[in-house]
Structure 1
Amino acid sequence: MARDHGGNLDTARADYGGADWIDLSTGINRRPYPVGDLPAECWTALPTASATRALIGAAAARYGVAPEQVLPLAGAQAAIQLYPRLRMPRHARVLGPIYNEHAAALRAQGWSVEEITSPDALRGADLAVVVNPNNPDGRTHAPGDLAALAQSVGLLVVDESFADPEPALSAAHHAGDRLLVLRSFGKFYGLAGVRLGFALGSGALVDRLREMAGPWSVSGPAIAIGTRALADDAWIAATTARLMDDARRLDALAARAGWSLVGGTPLFRTYATRDAAAVQDALARRGIWTRRFPYSASWLRLGLPDGEAEWVRTDAALRDLP
């Protein structure tokens, strides 16, 4: 069964033609971290233990955990593929609505998966999954509440892929044997192609995941870029402020178009529209690609335009909606 995702610009091009697209179908920061020059050896040699330790140290400092609690992986997606193997497959519950990779990865490892809508209904599950803040509706949960929930399930997986602009939401300092936190690097830093993410848990849990992942689970360029970016406090602060401002700007355009805010994060916004399929089509005909969901006839998710030219095009497209 095909998995439904944003970022499928090939579909837009195949259906509508054109080359000058604004891709707002993902929650990836579209003004990426400036990578700069990289050491030649990160391309030509296998990653060294010292370089990996430097990346782990930068991630530990950024997320507020001990180095032994950090496992770098090839994106949060790699962690999603691995964690179902931490326990014998039984009954998992995911807090929905949720993007489909968690349930798909669990089912692929033999888990029965139930999507529920109340955090209390997660209690008693052999494995439970919460996305915080949630994709696509932006629902959030206090870290203390998640720590308490972890005591009532076999293993709680908290996916914090969109938490970078809102660090107070992170449950990373509660990570342990029963609470595994997943972090994405590519979304906030705008470098999804680097394929870097982290699993945060107890030393024992991280060691088991490391054995599953095998050697060299992260590329040399990803190690070099991640180590540099995670320690760049000035860029992180400036980017967070810009994203917050841009999210408010997009909300204002959406409100003028008659849409209501379902929720979101500083990296994406989800709106209730009169007809998501019709609106997506109308915007696509103007070269703007967005994300809709098979379970909602009205929800439409937009990432944030970047640069004044894109904002002008987006504004004009929204004004021209029928």
Structure 2
Amino acid sequence: MDNQADGSSPLLVHGGQLNEVAQRYQIPLEKWLDLSTGISPINYPIPAIPENIWQQLPQPNQAMLSAAKNYYGTQNISVTSGSQAVIARLPALYLNHINQPANGIEVWLPEVGYKEHERAWHDAGFTIKNYQHLPTCEVLSRYAIVVVINPNNPTGELQQQQTLTTLLTTLESLSGWLIVDEAFMDVITPSQSLIHLTANKHLFVLRSIGKFFGLAGIRIGFVSAHPSWINKLQQLSSPWEVNGPAQFITEQALKNKVWQVAQQQQLIALSIRLEALLAKTFLPNQDKSNDPSITISGCGLFKTLVHPQATELYQKFCCQGLYVRLCDEKNALRFGIPDQEQYQILAKLLAEHSHS
């Protein structure tokens, strides 16, 4: 990761920046198809929120916390203002815990993945190691930290529960940490989550409400870890960090099992449909004549097209009013899952691309 003059990482580019992109390409906002995020196009319906919740300072919502414990299957959980807040605090938590200089500790991160993890550890002075495949005990040093995004964003690669459990045992023997970002785990069946193991002091699991429930705007998520770490993270938090309306909505969403089952079924069906459309457009020959440098992968919340002309395609699509995520490596485009109406627009735009 390149540094700025002050040694910090440069600002990272994320999806969801439609205002900026629309201005750059001089196309009115209402004319865009925005598939730039991995957020569900179908959101949990916002319930009527009691007026006093808007008026009061945020209060700890025990009913929401109970719903979260039931939904995630763990007692070791704390609400946060989105995963990003925890990602930013973990380096300081580790340094407060261990009497070692940051630059003597190796943090292993996926070569391709959500870069805010790397930025947080890099800016805190830790030694960054990137992996294509999970590091083994032979290369891991004492106090090592391994960050796993499971499933990976944007590749969709899924690590099996048993593989990560073995890695956790290794890191425990080294007095290190395993941090698993499970922001997209809700669409994985059967689940490969490690959240039920967070009584282990060497494990942290991050979960998101924004992705599966389609509620990124309310900025709420959860961290699961040993109670001693939960307490320390809460001490690092600001007062009233998670707003009251967000907690109320999340409580209802986590309790609604019928909606959750229907949501998962809808997202899987929509993602299969999207993958078929991308394959039809970019992999039209169902035999070995397909270009091996073009691949499609992902999960129930996004599909990623690896393509040698990814940058050119991104610019072309933007000129058509189609906004997708150009991945950090500039070799892939991540498509969010379109709903039924968006799918029709996307199919038309991709047909125009195929005939141009």
Fold shared by both chains (TM-score > 0.5): yes
Conservation of the 8 A alpha-carbon contact between 1:290 and 1:302:
yes
Q: Within 1, Cα distance between the matches of 2:275 and 2:59?
A: 45
In structure 1, the partner of 2:183 is 161
Provide the residue aligned with 1:320 in structure 2: 352
Structure 2 equivalent of residue 146 of structure 1? 164
Q: CA deviation at 1:21?
A: 1.1
Report whether the alignment pairs 1:63 with 2:80. no
Q: Report the more deviating stretch, 130-139 or 81-90.
A: 81-90
Among candidates 129, 132, 149, match of residue 114 of structure 1:
129
* Distance in 2 separating the partners of 1:84 and 1:292: 28
Instruction: Give 3-state SS (helix, strand or coil) of 1:264's partner.
Output: strand
Task: Find 1:83's aligned residue among 64, 85, 90.
Answer: 90
Specify the alignment match of 1:48 in structure 2. 59
1:128 is the counterpart of 2:146: yes
Moved more, 232-241 or 10-19: 10-19
Partners of 1:22 and 1:305 within 8 A in 2: no
Residue in 2 that maps onto 1:170: 193
* Other-structure match for 1:38: 49
CA contact (8 A) 1:123 1:149 kept: no
Aligned 8 A contact 2:156 2:299 in 1: yes
Determine if contact 1:147/1:179 at 8 Å carries over to the other structure. no
Partner of 1:271: 305
> In the TM superposition, what is the alpha-carbon distance from 1:32 to its structure 2 partner?
1.0
Distance (Å, rounded) in 2 between the aligned partners of 1:274 and 1:106: 31
1:306 to 339, 350, 353: 339
Aligned-residue offset at 1:249: 0.5
Looking at structure 2, the residues matched to 157 and 221 of structure 1 have their Cα atoms a distance apart, in angstroms, of 29
Instruction: Please tell me the root mean square deviation across aligned C-alpha atoms, in Å.
Output: 1.6
TM-score, structure 2 length as denominator?
0.85
* TM-score (normalised: structure 1): 0.94
Whichever of the two has the greater Rg, that structure is 2
In structure 1, the residue matched to 2:40 is 29
> Could you tell me how far 1:157 is from its partner in structure 2?
0.4
Matches within 5 A, 1:108-257: 108-121=123-136, 123-124=140-141, 126-153=144-171, 154-166=176-188, 168-175=191-198, 176-257=200-281
Do the aligned partners of 2:220 and 2:246 also contact (CA within 8 Å) in 1? yes
Q: Is the 8 A contact 2:83 2:206 kept in 1?
A: yes
Once structures 1 and 2 are overlaid, which stretch shifts more, 211-220 or 178-187?
211-220
Alignment check: 8 A CA contact 2:279 2:296 kept:
no
After TM superposition, give the deviation of residue 47 of structure 1 in Å: 2.4
Q: Distance in 1 between matches of 2:184 and 2:328?
A: 22
What amino acid does structure 1 have at the position aligned with 2:338? Answer: P
Quick check: 1:261–1:269 contact (8 Å CA) kept in 2?
no
Structure 2: runs of 5+ lacking an equivalent: 1-9, 96-101, 284-293
Deviation per CA, 1:244-284: give whole Å up to 9, x if none: 01111111111111245432110000012341112112222
CA–CA separation in structure 2 for the residues paired with 1:307 and 1:118 = 36
Return the alpha-carbon distance in structure 1 between the equivalents of residues 327 and 58 of structure 2: 39
Task: Identify the range of structure 1 (232-241 vs 38-47) with the bigger mean alpha-carbon deviation.
Answer: 38-47
1:282 to 316, 319, 323: 316
Contact 1:72–1:217 under 8 Å retained in 2: no
1:30 Cα deviation after fit: 1.5
Kept in 2, the 8 Å contact 1:144–1:171? The answer is no
* Aligned-partner residue type, residue 70 of structure 2: A
Residues in 2 aligned to 1:217 and 1:150: alpha-carbon distance in whole angstroms:
31
Residues 228-248 of structure 1 show CA distances to partners (whole Å, capped at 9, x for unaligned) of: 101111111111101101111
> Bigger CA drift: 236-245 or 208-217?
208-217
Distance in 2 between the 1:148 and 1:207 partners?
A: 27
Question: Which of 268, 282, 299 matches 1:258?
Answer: 282
SS in structure 1 opposite 2:333?
Answer: strand
Provide the rounded CA distance (Å) in 1 between the counterparts of 2:259 and 2:153: 24
The answer as to whether partners of 2:209 and 2:220 remain within 8 angstroms in 1 is yes
